[in-house]
Amino acid sequence: MMAGTSTMVKGKRVDIGGILLYCFLTFFGLLMLSPLVYMVSSALKPTSELFLFPPRFFVMNPTLKNFKDLLLATGTSIVPFSRYIFNSIVVSASIVIGSTVISAFAAYPLSKHEVPFKKAIFSMIIFALMFAPQVTQIPQFLVVSKLGMMNTYFALILPYLAAPVSLFLMKQFLDQIPDALIEATRIEGASEWTLFWRIVMPMLKPAWATLGLFSFIGAWNDPWSATIYTTTESMKTPPLALQTLNGGFGVVARAGTVAAASLLMIIPTIIVFVITQRMVLETMAHSGIKE
């Protein structure tokens, strides 16, 4: 160990450099956490504390009135905010489940079967990753409109089920599964359906956990699809509703309601990340393994 980075205290070696690094990282970790703490504090503040000067970081008299006003009677919409949350839950859950299953179905033959033009198909998938999502927005809108799916859950779900990045992730992870394991299962007499669901899918848990996390965050925080594919209040989602609350007349009076809505928007993403973080980190650790 380098001189100056450790010292002896009562016969024990103390790593001064490690302690300083730990304190440094802890400070910046708390600094990054402060916006979330302030959001929670603002959501619990009564109106009298929201407009104090100088402003207070922590709430002194917490209240749930902001959440009550948000969920029951915001006064800014003909439908309650709880309807927006329900819409987003349905859309996000459908996209997570659908994109995971479809990507696994599509990646499995590309990785473990001799498919005609397999390399060309995968090259097209890589090529599709080069385009920004905005490039396909107009064609998607035309297709959804011509099929008569406007103002339906299908319009908010179907365009996002087949994503090139999802297929790429699944295919790369499938490549790490030994072909010998697949062949041994076939020799034992397992059908392709049994092989896929009982052997392949359980081994893909880290991959579909990562894909589920990214898909959920993207779907939950996406205001664009509800803006384009819906024209009725009952089909809108929280990101679009939050923009309505955060603008227009009365925005000052609705400051507490906006803070409560922002907190409700971020809580589900934190919960999903906490649930899936172990498998996501496992995916990162395995991403560099080669056969």
Q: What is the pLDDT of residue 95?
A: 92
169-203 tens-digit pLDDT: 888 888 888 888 888 888 888 788 888 888 888 88
Backbone φ and ψ for 14, nearest 5 degrees, come out as -110, 125
261-285 tens-digit pLDDT: 888 888 888 888 888 877 766 665 5
pTM to 2 decimals? 0.78
Tokens 């395995």 -> residue: 286
26-70 tens-digit pLDDT: 888 888 888 888 888 888 888 777 777 777 788 888 888 888 877
Does pLDDT of 291 surpass 70?
Answer: no
In one-letter notation, the amino acid at residue 197 is: W
Q: What is the pLDDT of residue 141?
A: 87
109-123 tens-digit pLDDT: 888 888 888 888 888
Q: Distance (Å, rounded) from C-alpha 16 to C-alpha 6? A: 5
Count the neighbouring beta carbons within 10 Å of the beta carbon of residue 222.
Answer: 20
Cβ atoms 219, 96 nearer than 8 A: yes
